Amino acid sequence: MEGGTEALKAKALVLRGAGLNCNDETEHALQLAGANTQQAHINELIRGRIKLADCQIAVIPGGFSYGDDLGAGRILALQIKQALKREFQEFVDEGRILAGICNGFQVLVKTGFLPGNCTATLTDNNSGHFEDRWIHIKAAGRGIFTKGIEKIYLPVNHGEGRFIAEEETLRKLNKNSQIAFRYCDRDGNESPEYPHNPNGSMQNIAAVTNEKGNVFGMMPHPEKIVSKYQHPRWTREELPEEGQGLKIYRNMVEHAEERLV
Query: What integer pLDDT is reported at residue 8 of this predicted model?
Result: 83
With b for 16 or more beta-carbon neighbours within 10 A and e for fewer, the 187-208 pattern comes to eeeeeeeeebbbbbbbbbbbbb
- 223 carries an active-site annotation: yes
- 41 carries an active-site annotation: no
- 102 carries an active-site annotation: yes
**Whole-number Å distance between alpha carbons of 242 and 229:** 9
Query: What integer pLDDT is reported at residue 116 of this predicted model?
Result: 85
Q: Give the single-character DSSP code of 126.
A: T
Catalytic residue among 27, 223, 231, 255: 223
- Counting as low any pLDDT under 70, the low residues of the chain are 1-7
Query: What integer pLDDT is reported at residue 2 of this predicted model?
Result: 43
Task: Classify strands 97-101 and 215-218 as parallel, antiparallel or unpaired.
Answer: parallel
| Closest by Cα among 16, 8, 96, 99 to 55 | 96
Q: What is the CATH number of the domain that holds 91?
A: 3.40.50.880
Whole-structure pTM over 0.75, yes or no? yes
Q: How many domains does the structure of the chain reveal?
A: 1
Query: What integer pLDDT is reported at residue 6 of this predicted model?
Result: 53
**Whole-number Å distance between alpha carbons of 207 and 219:** 7
Give me the long-range contacts of 46-50 (CB less than 8 A, separation at least 24): 46/79, 46/83, 46/84, 50/13
Domain residue limits at 192: 5-260
CA of 216: how far to CAs of 18, 44, 96, 207, 211, in Å?
A: 22, 23, 11, 7, 10
Contact in structure between 144 and 216 (CB atoms under 8 Å):
yes
Catalytic residue among 22, 55, 160, 221: 221
Query: What integer pLDDT is reported at residue 191 of this predicted model?
Result: 82
Catalytic residue among 102, 160, 184, 231: 102
Share of the chain above pLDDT 70, in %: 97
Contact in structure between 258 and 9 (CB atoms under 8 Å):
no
